[in-house]
Amino acid sequence: MSDLTGKTALVTGSVRGIGFGVAAALAAAGARIALHGLAGELEIHEAREALMAAGSPQVEFFDGDLRQPDRIAALMAAVEAWGGVDILVNNAGIQHTAGLADMAPDAWDQIIAVNLSAAFHTMRLGLPQMAARGYGRVINIASVHGLVASKMKAPYVAAKHGLIGLSKVAALEYATAGSKASGGVTVNCIAPGWTETALIEPQIEAAAKAHGGDREAGIAAMLAEKQPSLRTSDPSEIGALALWLCAREAHNVTGAAIPIDGGWTAQ
């Protein structure tokens, strides 16, 4: 179920965090990885070497500003020329917190562009090619905020709710593509809750310090309001689910938004 030999995966925002965790899981299963993200040469080099060490036969970096439709088109064309996108993981995202009345219109536009519109553009270009080959996987990294809301995050919540709706439409439109034998074409969302990445590490360190240096106690206190398990997820765990969704046996799992949130959205 985990053999992706001969498959090519584009994972946006994959030089670090959840995107890297997903890319590493796919690499370990033998997929070629189209690396993407905002990073310097050293970070790109280190990510590429790590993915090769994980098991990918080939890793190349592809640039592309996800705020610009023409740059997205160029990105997709470049990866198609490299071997074609069999697995598309829309992971890249940005965030800005402010009250609705104080949210700058430019911040709204940027967050919607990267977190929602970019996925529309990659999907509209990638899905027809997947259908023609009889196999394809789109995995959109949404968020618990695609299922429930929080204050101070209007554009982010709107984008993630929209991403789940967009994914359902695409899942329906491509439901008959391919076959059970080929694996078909599926479109799903993963909706992570609190996940340990560099982005939240300062918050974790501050919480641990407030609890006498006890990291687990600090995390539990930090998550108490939202995540009943009181445990964070690791990017590798998001990657493990993404890998399972890529299996041929998952051909009938489509249009789903699967939370990894310790019970947050069950409340």
Torsion of CA 197, 203, 206, 210, to 10 degrees: -110
Active-site residue identified among 20, 156, 174, 194:
156
DSSP for 80-130, written as a single string: HHHT--SEEEE-------B-GGG--HHHHHHHHIIIIIHHHHHHHHHHHHH
Q: Which residues are CB-neighbours of 253 under 8 A, at least 6 positions away?
A: 186, 188, 245
Structure tokens that stand for 92 in this block: 């890249």
Among candidates 48, 17, 11, which has minimal Cα distance to 234?
Answer: 17
Rounded to 5 degrees, what are φ and ψ at 182?
-85, -20
135 is catalytic: no
Active site residues: 156
